[in-house]
Amino acid sequence: MSLFDRDKSSERLPVALITGFLGSGKTTLLNRVLGDPRMARSLVLVNEFGETGLDHLFMEQVDGDMVLLQSGCVCCTIQGDLDRTLRDIAKRRASGTAPPFDRVLLETTGLADPAPILQLLLNNPMISHDYRLDSVVATVDAVNGARQLDEHAEAVKQAAVADRLLISKTDLADIDASAGLRVRLEALNPGAALFEIVQGEIDPALLFDSGPFDPAGKSDRVRAWLGAEAHDHHHHHVDRSRHDAHIGSFCLTFDEPLDWDRFNPWLMAVRASWGDRLLRVKGVLNVQGESQPLVIHGVHHTFHPPTLLARWPDAERRSRLVFITRDLDRKSVEESWKQMMEET
């Protein structure tokens, strides 16, 4: 019997976390994608209906905090904390008292720190039983984005943890400013795919399916997900602001299969020493005794239980571990690994 759980992602509802600073186009994006027939049977979670700008899409009240939209989607307000809302919705869906839906779009407020939400989705067993984090998407305003990154640590964090970055309002921004913002975002989060959007016009598929949960046919996405390694040595010249200078992304690779009994204590020590500085950790590992790749996810001090994928995404068999950090450099983490190897 394996030490690790088989990946059961297909049995859980995929969640797209949509974040981005105030005025960066999250609601415009939602209005666009919810009008697409492919997005029918979606659940949209918002803080308050009045803040979403989706009122013209409302069709009928279903049950208290839940309304059915003309597009066939369901919209629900977050009652109290997100934890309770997600568990309540899962119960209603299981009992058939809520309209059916196949996916969840969770829009954060513009000033939100995404880390606590990521922790909840990745690490709370009551939540991960029914839901799986499928993608983190951040909108960035091409007109005001650079100033927001300079002035607001939340904006930097939102962009840093995203799997996909959507630069909005490029039709209104100066060309040079847009180009500079793009370079800055590529340096801040080199592993993220970057897209430019106007009036929220994108393929809704970009909101989902960004992680290596089922790597069949998705090796390009996995490589992008792990792309920090290739960029880590090429962006030190970028002039960063006082905020994003504190945030970095790097990827550790391990050529030989890992001994889990040595690797896991080291990872636990990293979490104990620097958990507050770990914005996100993602890894695909080759573990001794396992023919399948092991995936790990973590935010700050808490990590989702590791799962085994059905197959490797490509011919690459090296273990790759991506760190997105605040005030924690690659050298410190590498030195801790070398020290552990010397002591054991």
Domain ranges across the chain: 5-207, 219-343
Any idea which fold 5-207 has?
Rossmann fold (3.40.50)
- At 201 the pLDDT is 82
Is residue 111 within 8 Å of 154, Cβ to Cβ?
yes
Alpha helices in the chain (DSSP H): 26-34, 49-52, 82-95, 115-123, 125-128, 145-151, 153-160, 175-188, 219-225, 228-231, 260-274, 330-343
Average pLDDT of the residues in 21-37: 85
Reading the block at residue 129, the tokens are: 């039983």
Average pLDDT of the residues in 146-166: 91
Average pLDDT of the residues in 222-235: 54
- At 339 the pLDDT is 92
User: Among 104-118, 130-144, 213-227, which stretch is predicted with the lowest mean pLDDT?
Assistant: 213-227
- 3-class state of residue 232 by DSSP: coil
Reading the block at residue 56, the tokens are: 């013209």
217 vs 326, more confident:
326
- At 77 the pLDDT is 76
Residue 98, CB half-sphere, CA atoms under 13 Å: how many?
24
Pick from 114, 113, 148: nearest CA to 23: 148
Express as a percent the part of the chain with pLDDT over 70: 80
| pLDDT higher than 80, residue 14 | yes
Q: Could you tell me the CATH superfamily of domain 219-343? A: CobW-like, C-terminal domain (3.30.1220.10)
User: Among 76-85, 112-121, 189-198, 208-217, which stretch is predicted with the lowest mean pLDDT?
Assistant: 208-217
pLDDT bucket at 225, cuts 50 / 70 / 90: low
Average pLDDT of the residues in 10-24: 87
- 3-class state of residue 9 by DSSP: helix
Render pLDDT for 170-187 as a digit per residue (tens, 0 to 9).
888 889 989 999 999 998
| pLDDT higher than 50, residue 344 | yes
Kind of pairing between the strands at 13-20 and 131-141? parallel
First to last CA, the chain: 26
Kind of pairing between the strands at 42-46 and 74-77? parallel
pLDDT bucket at 56, cuts 50 / 70 / 90: very low
> Could you give the C-alpha distances from 213 to 35, 111, 209, 268, 297, in angstroms and in order?
27, 29, 8, 23, 11
Distance CA 229, CA 224 (A): 10
| pLDDT higher than 60, residue 130 | yes
**What is the chain's mean pLDDT, rounded?**
81
162 vs 73, more confident:
162
